[in-house]
Structure 1
Amino acid sequence: MSELEMIEKEIKIVICSKNRCKDCQHASGLECMNLVELQDNTDLRIVLLVEQSKGLIHFSKLVRLPKRAPWYSNSWDTVYVHKGRILDDPNAIVDFYSTDPYLSVFFKEENSGDLFYEAYPIVRSPIETALVEQLGRDLSQILEKESSVRVKLTNRLERLALAVSKKISKLLPEINDSTRSRISSIVANESTVIGPMIPLLLDDEVEEIYLDRPCSSLYFDHARHGRSRTSLILDMDIISRLVTLFRAESNLHLDRKNPSLKTDLSLLGNLLRVSVGAPPLASDGFHLEIRRARKKPLSLLDLIKNGTLTLEAASILMLALGCRFNITITGEPGSGKTTLLNALDMSSPRTWRKVYIEDAIESRTQLTHHQLRIRVDPVDEANSRYNKDVEIVKSLHRSPDYLILGEIQTMEHSRSLFQAMAAGLRTIQTCHSYSAASLISRWVYNHRIEESSLAMMDLIVTLNRPIPGESLRRVVEIAEVKKRIDDGFLRFGGLNILYSVVVSKPISWAEDGAFRFHANQDGFENHIPAFEIIVKILRENVLSITEENSFHLSEKLWEYGHPLKIVGSE
């Protein structure tokens, strides 16, 4: 059974009579027999009661489903929809959840089987809807006393919501704080050009949003449902206003001389990475991609639980991280490279000083860790002042325990990376490629890295996304770099595939591989006992370790002065 089929089993749609229980054959006193019959259905996650004639949707979040309809019980949440597919075709609903202050609803197309998405502001009644509309019309008057100083988008939305909240308090002081806050947020969000997209941008299950050309509909990738369509269409007027917003937020150029822009954007506590293309680069007009980071980033243990990593693969990475290997994470676009990099980063000891060099900030703030972030200009910024390759070299004087570089894109980036490793810096970075072998070829043939320099790299991790548009990502290969010292020079000896989803076999450590090489260099016979202990620890704690305490394992690796000495604690 597919995940979508499982989700469909979790939802029950009940379409109520126009006169509610008065002429309904399922009414029995104050109880609804439809609801009574569902009491013992353990598969159900949510029940929707739809009143099409009244434009009302009722749903219960209680563990125990109420037996009485919403007009006889306080155990239901009610939303006034007024109009939309949720009323016209409720039986097509396959998923439904709230992302305050919005409802996210997924429909299954009957003919194609595609998923279609609509979002609805959470308003409880026609009176609340009228209030939202009136406050929206009055918004310019509400803000007459607001400062004209340009502020960031989040600050602007917060100021708008506060101003609207004050207006509501004066007009309707009887409205409670929760309702006032919800309505204020809806009004503030709808006042901005990005307003129609905000329900998607606030949804932690939305991964990436796409617009291919003006006047086409937005579509997006969802963590559980994969690729889904929307009815949102952005015309040139909206796109022009969006471009103005992105330029103001980033202070970067987007015009015919510099027809692409890449930046990060903070929206109400959500971190977004925005990429925009403009003519003449975009032949059909503007295109837009927005990648959103989860509010709660995935830890290494989360990646084990969702199938991205096996225990053995995670153990290899934990040992490599603990030994401060030079690690490159590679894969196709959207394969989860940054997610894995951030999971490794969060698993590092709190005492380590980490320096980040990124053109769009995708690393995560860890309050108990030592982090220095450096923002550089994107590679396609025509008037670039801060270059990644220059800042990599300058990091020699910033004393990092680990240098985290984000994406390595150009020949200059690669050359600076290998120069930094040759100077003794320990690095983690991402780079687009299909496999470790293709990445080595890219470095040698496209970026002109000398083969002898490749021995500075220790580990190459490859991810892929087996089905385009689907949510599953997985680590498909981990390769250690083979190396040796010959006449005083470090030599590259090829790759040893430690882990592969294609070829199922026990881990085979190369005699001249990075793990044995570094173990011998540090005075140990080998690393295998430490690796086996890490596997054991992860297996025993996979259900209890979270991102809040996942760094404790890497700290435990250093309790005895070196990760390979952990065998002495067992």
Structure 2
Amino acid sequence: MAEDRLLAEVRRRLAHGTARGEPVADVERAVREAGAALGAEDIAALAARVGSATRGAGPLQRLLDEPGVSDVLVDGTGRVWADRGSGLEERPVDLGGADQIRALAVRLAAAGGSRLDDAAPLVDARLPDGTRLHAVLPPIAVDGPLLSLRVLRRSAYPLDALVRSGSVAPVVAATLVGLVRNRANVLVSGATGTGKTTLLAALLALVPPDERVVCLEESGELDPDHPHVVRLVARRPNVEGVGEVDLARLVREALRMRPDRIVLGECRGAEVREVLAALSTGHEGSWATLHATAAQDVPARLEAMAALAGMSREAVVAQAGAALDAVVHLRRDAGRRRVAQIGRVLREGAALRVEEVVAVGADGTVRTAPGWEGFVRRWGGDPAASGPDGARSA
């Protein structure tokens, strides 16, 4: 308890203006002012706790800092869960009662420039370090405040590392390289947490270095290893409800920035109109991600999103059929993320269809369809790797 009182006193002194320099120096000064005597190691540890309590996510910060953690969740009963790549695990973290969890959620929302209170009980914000925050307060959250934190990991995985890990079958990797080099327009689909952003960053690193890549996102997650990347991030309205810059606006702005390739981190709404318009007017080699349950479901998702922008089904079919070449679909099985399908986009009369050309099973078995050889001849890869309707182990 004495340590907790010292922490509270140091936080109070920092809040009243003693913080002027480096965090450890600020804490050391505040400790001296509080009349306590601590060694250098204790000062550093206290500085870390003060930083977490005042600028970070409090008791959750140590989980967010763990290597491999992608998500940290707090349920309505105060239990804490973390995902390190193999599914959710309950972690022993004491957040206090519902009032303390609510106060943490409100503070994090404010750090992200958003409002969270009884009048605005839901928030979706981006914290200063890039972490994505979603929080819900009672009475919307029946059992108590809910927190969902998605960690931003800037460490990029090259494509060969994804192949070694089993996320990408070698046959599929060769085709993905061909799609990049031959400037196909591609959608990467999958559920949340399937690795869409990780795969996309790996593929963008293969873009020739003399090309300009403009990345547009709601959260700045894409950080490809490429010498000429321009990154734009959407901005939500502030607490007064003004200042919003949405993805549709960013797409329009990107067209004025002399892009060689336009990359949309996640297409989820009316911005699909601008994306399809851009891709159907000569911007080849562009990529976007979206949520879908299978490659074959992508046309329906496009139609649903385009409806939000007032586009007719006929307009979606015409523009998507002209703009899109392929769909790469990812799945997550028992914690393992993998490329599960590649399909080609076909326009058949008044309908849009994605035809699967290669599929990868959970056991690594690669199965090709009759359209595989033609797809590979057009975009690259090894058509002899597996014949039509053939199968082999990856």
Q: Give yes or no for contact 2:189–2:196 (8 Å, CA) kept in 1.
A: yes
Matches within 5 A, 1:131-280: 135-140=6-11, 142-143=13-14, 146=17, 159-166=22-29, 175=39, 180-190=43-53, 194-213=57-76, 215-223=77-85, 226-233=88-95, 235-255=97-117, 258-267=120-129, 271-279=130-138
* Larger RCO, structure (CA 8 Å, separation 6 or more): 2
State the distance in 2 between where 1:263 and 1:348 align. 31
State the distance in 2 between where 1:363 and 1:451 align. 29
Deviation at 1:329, TM superposition (A): 1.2
Describe the shift of the 1:193–1:480 C-alpha distance in structure 2 as closer, same or farther (beyond 3 A). Answer: closer
Tell me if 1:451 matches 2:310.
no
Describe the shift of the 1:402–1:377 C-alpha distance in structure 2 as closer, same or farther (beyond 3 A). Answer: farther
Q: Which residue pairs with 2:391 in the alignment?
A: none
Q: Which residue pairs with 1:62 in the alignment?
A: none
Per-residue Cα deviation, 1:56-112 (whole angstroms, up to 9, x for no partner): xxxxxxxxxxxxxxxxxxxxxxxxxxxxxxxxxxxxxxxxxxxxxxxxxxxxxxxxx
Name the aligned partner's letter for residue 195 of structure 2.
G
Q: Give yes or no for contact 1:260–1:275 (8 Å, CA) kept in 2.
A: yes
State the distance in 2 between where 1:308 and 1:420 align. 31
Describe the shift of the 1:451–1:483 C-alpha distance in structure 2 as closer, same or farther (beyond 3 A). Answer: closer
Q: Give yes or no for contact 2:204–2:225 (8 Å, CA) kept in 1.
A: no
Name the aligned partner's letter for residue 419 of structure 1.
A
State the distance in 2 between where 1:511 and 1:225 align. 37
Q: Give yes or no for contact 2:296–2:356 (8 Å, CA) kept in 1.
A: no
Structure 1 stretches lacking a partner, 5+ long: 1-128, 149-155, 520-526, 533-570
State the distance in 2 between where 1:394 and 1:192 align. 33
How many residues align? The count is: 371
SS of residue paired to 1:416? helix
Tell me if 1:421 matches 2:279.
yes
Greater Cα offset, 236-245 or 301-310: 236-245
From 355, 361, 367, the counterpart of 1:505: 367
Structure showing greater Rg: 1
Deviation at 1:497, TM superposition (A): 1.8
Greater Cα offset, 258-267 or 503-512: 503-512
State the distance in 2 between where 1:446 and 1:173 align. 61
Name the aligned partner's letter for residue 157 of structure 2.
L
TM-score computed with the length of structure 2 as normaliser? 0.78
Q: Which residue pairs with 1:8 in the alignment?
A: none
Tell me if 1:375 matches 2:234.
yes
Aligned-residue identity in percent:
22
Describe the shift of the 1:286–1:210 C-alpha distance in structure 2 as closer, same or farther (beyond 3 A). Answer: same
Deviation at 1:258, TM superposition (A): 4.6
Name the aligned partner's letter for residue 17 of structure 2.
E
Q: Which residue pairs with 2:309 in the alignment?
A: none
Q: Which residue pairs with 2:297 in the alignment?
A: 438
Deviation at 1:200, TM superposition (A): 0.2
Tell me if 1:307 matches 2:307.
no
Describe the shift of the 1:226–1:140 C-alpha distance in structure 2 as closer, same or farther (beyond 3 A). Answer: closer
Per-residue Cα deviation, 1:225-274 (whole angstroms, up to 9, x for no partner): 7523334345332233223323322223435565432222244xxx4121
Describe the shift of the 1:134–1:389 C-alpha distance in structure 2 as closer, same or farther (beyond 3 A). Answer: closer
Name the aligned partner's letter for residue 326 of structure 2.
L
State the distance in 2 between where 1:239 and 1:174 align. 30
Matches within 5 A, 1:20-31: none
Q: Which residue pairs with 1:539 in the alignment?
A: none
SS of residue paired to 1:232? coil
SS of residue paired to 1:245? helix
Structure 2 stretches lacking a partner, 5+ long: 307-312, 386-394
Q: Give yes or no for contact 1:477–1:501 (8 Å, CA) kept in 2.
A: no
Per-residue Cα deviation, 1:193-215 (whole angstroms, up to 9, x for no partner): 732111101112212111222x4
State the distance in 1 between where 2:75 and 2:15 align. 37
Tell me if 1:325 matches 2:188.
no
Deviation at 1:460, TM superposition (A): 0.9
Q: Give yes or no for contact 2:163–2:173 (8 Å, CA) kept in 1.
A: yes
State the distance in 2 between where 1:528 and 1:347 align. 15
Q: Give yes or no for contact 2:220–2:231 (8 Å, CA) kept in 1.
A: no
Name the aligned partner's letter for residue 147 of structure 2.
L
Deviation at 1:364, TM superposition (A): 2.1
Per-residue Cα deviation, 1:318-364 (whole angstroms, up to 9, x for no partner): 22122232121111222222222222233433332222222222122
Matches within 5 A, 1:483-562: 494-501=354-361, 504-505=366-367, 509-510=371-372, 513=375, 516=377, 527-528=380-381
State the distance in 2 between where 1:250 and 1:192 align. 11
Deviation at 1:433, TM superposition (A): 0.8
Per-residue Cα deviation, 1:339-391 (whole angstroms, up to 9, x for no partner): 2222223343333222222222212275833323232438xx97573221232
SS of residue paired to 2:194? coil
Deviation at 1:431, TM superposition (A): 0.9
Describe the shift of the 1:529–1:195 C-alpha distance in structure 2 as closer, same or farther (beyond 3 A). Answer: closer
Deviation at 1:134, TM superposition (A): 6.8
Q: Give yes or no for contact 2:57–2:108 (8 Å, CA) kept in 1.
A: no
Q: Which residue pairs with 2:343 in the alignment?
A: 479
Q: Give yes or no for contact 2:317–2:347 (8 Å, CA) kept in 1.
A: no
SS of residue paired to 1:460? strand
